[in-house]
A and B are shown apart, each in its own frame.
Chain A
Amino acid sequence: MVDISIADATVEQILANQKGLIAIGAGLAVGLSGIASGIAEKDIGAAAVGAMAEREELFGKGLILTVIPETIVIFGLVVAILLLFL
């Protein structure tokens, strides 16, 4: 293994390192928020299908309610974009 201490690192190496950490952060922001909205949507989706099975006209409402937790992922995505491009 190559042992690199910060003091010996060149500026390029430090910048590359930072880029890597930013990419991990962006990945976590999207990934974790995706898992979170998945957990939230699980129950709502099941309930929406249950309600729809009895009354088909609830399809529209069920669909909208099911995707509301999707906003969490959008926040995650926004954070990731901010991290990567700003």
Chain B
Amino acid sequence: MFFNRRGSKKYAYITARVRAMKSKLIQREVFPKMMNMDLAEITRFIGESEYKQDVDELAQKYSGIDLVEHALNQNLARTYRKLLRVSQDEPHYLITEYLRYWDIWNIKTILRGKYYGAPLEEIQEAVVAAGQLGYRQLVSIASMESIDDIKVALENTPYHSAISDYQGGMLSTVENNLDKLYYSRILSSMDKSKGEKLSLKFIRTEIDLKNLKTLFRTKKADLPRDEIMELLIPGGAELKDGDLRRLVSLSWPDFIKSQEDYSYWSALSEVISEDMPSLMDVEAELDKYAMKYSSKVSHYYPLSILPIFDYIVRKNNEINNLRTIARGKESALSDDIIKKHLVM
């Protein structure tokens, strides 16, 4: 009976709306055109598109690359907040959990800023208030003197458990804890929404791709086994705990070869080799895989959270591409290098 199709009535509105929003994203054919523009033209171009409001608002305060950067960040935050505003019940809950990514991102940014003694303004500029912590709250956290104060400020948030053990020193443990906390929260929230197997797989694939990136980086840098294991996030779709342990203990050439056993090989086979100089291509391919995967699964169950996740991924990707082009043009990088960084 239709009563078993849990919550689909709540998805009809939000998925249709998100699809309409998706149609307003910048088409992939436009990015190569943007490569021929200079920074002023790019600013004007995005000022005439969906980013109009943000560019207009910030044009008095900033100019040049700063204006683009801030407008992009503000637009991202505004778009994600809008998703939260227009959704309710189950989709709202899942979007909230998924967007906690930005809270984690902001906390990491603030902690790093504090650790290296960056000025408040710089930290303020780097935060993207797209999660549960609002811009004002983030600014007040960022304006605190020490990391201990930040610990106290985060006391009533779910992130406190990740940071409470921090006693000074390198931040990598805290950052790992935050990542693990984020993924364990979102995995457990998915379990509650019954029958959402594909959504669960989507998140698990995301964990796999994140773990793969970590593995590539750490194996290439030849980090000790235990340290790598610490950095990996449990709960992947294909790379289960056993696989991760096996991959970590392999040597670099064997590690490369072992990638053939997993389905991600289809994305990696072209760019992977034992003596590749940089991991840029591998990471770009993994990002592309993530995007293709999310758009593929978003068509499987139109009345589910998947089209919304797909939109979140795409929007973030659009912002990243625009930022890459703007930054690349500003630093006068060649078109080929910029193109390599674009994920389309």
Interface contact A51-B12, CB-CB below 8 Å? no
Residues of B within 8 A of A67 (CB): none
With the chains together, A58 CA to B19 CA distance in Å? 12
Number of residues on chain A facing chain B (CB within 8 A): 14
Interface contact B12-A55, CB-CB below 8 Å? no
Choose the segment among B20-28, B163-171, B195-203, B227-235 that binds chain A (4+ C-beta atoms closer than 8 Å): B20-28
**Those of A44-69 within 8 Å (CB) of chain B:** 44, 46-51, 53-55, 58
Count A/B pairs, Cβ under 8 Å.
42
Residues of A within 8 A of B9 (CB): 42-43, 46
Decide yes or no whether B8 CB sits under 8 A from chain A: yes
Interface contact B20-A55, CB-CB below 8 Å? yes
With the chains together, A47 CA to B16 CA distance in Å? 5
Number of residues on chain B facing chain A (CB within 8 A): 17
Residues of A within 8 A of B24 (CB): 54-55
Whole-angstrom distance from the CB of B49 to the nearest CB of chain A? 15
Whole-angstrom distance from the CB of B20 to the nearest CB of chain A? 3
With the chains together, A48 CA to B13 CA distance in Å? 7
Interface contact A53-B17, CB-CB below 8 Å? yes
Q: Which of A43, A49, A53: most chain B CB closer than 10 A?
A: A43
Interface contact A54-B8, CB-CB below 8 Å? no
Interface contact A50-B8, CB-CB below 8 Å? no
Interface contact B20-A46, CB-CB below 8 Å? no
Interface contact B2-A51, CB-CB below 8 Å? no
Whole-angstrom distance from the CB of B90 to the nearest CB of chain A? 14
With the chains together, A35 CA to B18 CA distance in Å? 29
Whole-angstrom distance from the CB of A75 to the nearest CB of chain B? 20
Interface contact A50-B20, CB-CB below 8 Å? yes
Interface contact B16-A48, CB-CB below 8 Å? yes
Decide yes or no whether B141 CB sits under 8 A from chain A: no
23 A-B pairs (CB sep. < 8 Å): A39-B2, A42-B9, A42-B12, A43-B9, A43-B12, A43-B303, A44-B12, A46-B9, A46-B12, A46-B16, A47-B13, A48-B16, A49-B13, A50-B15, A50-B16, A50-B18, A51-B16, A51-B20, A54-B20, A54-B21, A54-B24, A55-B20, A55-B23
Interface on B for A, CB 8 Å cutoff?
A: 2, 8-9, 12-21, 23-24, 86, 303
Interface on A for B, CB 8 Å cutoff?
A: 39, 42-44, 46-51, 53-55, 58
